[in-house]
Structure 1
């Protein structure tokens, strides 16, 4: 596991979001922060960090000297890809049972295009693995992952279920991921993807290239995702309240 407080932050965030969804607050205003921290059994500092992140993510507005206000419209989890860190999170929020299976695990030489993106030498060896993510046993996302074989300290195994990529890369490579750049486009399903998704060849699909960087801003992992049009949707909340003054 990575040496990070991400897991504890996510736990506090989930508790707060569960509270927001299950309770009604007059005027959508939260109780005072000291009361809320005591109720949750956490420090005021931890609570304020979590509230700050939830504000940046668009769930709350903080009005200085007044309090914190919930946005119920932002709490609808349906297809919110910005709420979690794995496809399992999205499937569960939609009331579906997630599953995953590694379909392929092997080594391949880096093509010139892949070498440029991953900043390795052409023809150097890459670890490649392919994974299908399911919702209620229906194919939802097909992913092809590639990284330099030189980074792999503990071998990947087909039976492993690595839902959280930051934990997976730390566990196998000892690398801390800092961010990813995600490029989306529409593509036509090729023969392989069409067969996996049980769709006609040429069906329009949403496709994403996701390049992960470590804390030194060095590219570590390149994922390409194909999304089933019936089993994986996308909704992103865009927060327009950044820097707003009350």
Structure 2
């Protein structure tokens, strides 16, 4: 099973490059039979590779018609089934992410944040604000709270103002901490105040708000996040599979 899953991921990577080089938004892919023969894999493996690209929002299925490259004019669809940075999810969906606003500073932890991170109230924490744009259009306002020390090591999160540096990697390399699980609560929200300004959204514009707790392998919350998505620019996809 592991070998087949790895093969499907490899084919998905090659398909992603093929789509970028030879197909445009809205183009129909060749048939599954043609693609399977081209990559020398079984139809089942090819379908798993296509499913990976569909879950990333790169492909659109039209039942009875075929599989098409997603139209870049539509809101970006990102999958929430994997623990990956927003930047990578956007790139995997075939779009270009940038950071139009970024700020990283240490502050005394508010009571709610201290409780979530298991700290004393007013303990120093990093607050990192970033606005991720998709193809130069504001899409996500992300506010992360992180302890200033992990595993006895001081953290410097100021590099996160660069879109090519992500928090998961910084925690792994500098804090020797791997994120093993994320829990998210979602609710509808309307744009207001700073969020509206940063996302360039009119007051009351529909947003999706996600409050996210990220757990280390040891079971501790090490990132507490408040995330707002512009629903006309980016959408989340949840994929459920049956247990076998």
Aligned: 1:228 with 2:230: yes
- Over aligned residue pairs, what C-alpha RMSD do you find? 3.7
SS at 2:236 equivalent: coil
* Distance 1:198-1:19 versus aligned 2 partners, 3 A rule: closer
Match of 2:33 among 26, 31, 39: 26
**Consecutive unaligned residues in structure 2, runs of 5 or more:** 1-5, 20-28, 53-59, 71-75
The answer (yes or no) to whether the contact 1:105–1:129 under 8 Å persists in 2 is yes
Aligned: 1:125 with 2:119: no
Cα deviation code 1:149-206 (max 9, x no counterpart): 1226341225433554421321332211111111111122221111112222232210
Structure 2 residue aligned with 1:177: 179
Task: Report how far residue 99 of structure 1 moved.
Answer: 0.6
Structure 2 residue aligned with 1:150: 149
**Consecutive unaligned residues in structure 1, runs of 5 or more:** 1-7, 38-50, 60-71
CA–CA separation in structure 2 for the residues paired with 1:9 and 1:206 = 35
* Distance 1:119-1:89 versus aligned 2 partners, 3 A rule: same
CA–CA separation in structure 2 for the residues paired with 1:148 and 1:19 = 39
CA–CA separation in structure 2 for the residues paired with 1:10 and 1:167 = 25
SS at 2:226 equivalent: strand
The answer (yes or no) to whether the contact 1:87–1:163 under 8 Å persists in 2 is no
Structure 2 residue aligned with 1:79: 77
Structure 1 residue aligned with 2:134: 135
The answer (yes or no) to whether the contact 1:80–1:237 under 8 Å persists in 2 is no
**Structure 1-normalised TM-score?**
0.68
Structure 1 residue aligned with 2:239: 237
**Match runs of 1:49-128 below 5 Å:** 73=61, 79-82=77-80, 85-128=84-127
Higher strand share: 2
Task: Report how far residue 110 of structure 1 moved.
Answer: 1.5
CA–CA separation in structure 2 for the residues paired with 1:209 and 1:10 = 32
Task: Report how far residue 27 of structure 1 moved.
Answer: 10
CA–CA separation in structure 2 for the residues paired with 1:138 and 1:167 = 25
The answer (yes or no) to whether the contact 2:188–2:209 under 8 Å persists in 1 is yes
CA–CA separation in structure 2 for the residues paired with 1:122 and 1:182 = 23
Aligned: 1:213 with 2:220: no
CA–CA separation in structure 2 for the residues paired with 1:181 and 1:163 = 23
The answer (yes or no) to whether the contact 1:207–1:227 under 8 Å persists in 2 is yes
Match of 2:202 among 200, 203, 216: 200
Task: Report how far residue 20 of structure 1 moved.
Answer: 10
SS at 1:121 equivalent: coil
CA–CA separation in structure 2 for the residues paired with 1:196 and 1:15 = 34
CA–CA separation in structure 1 for the residues paired with 2:30 and 2:179 = 35
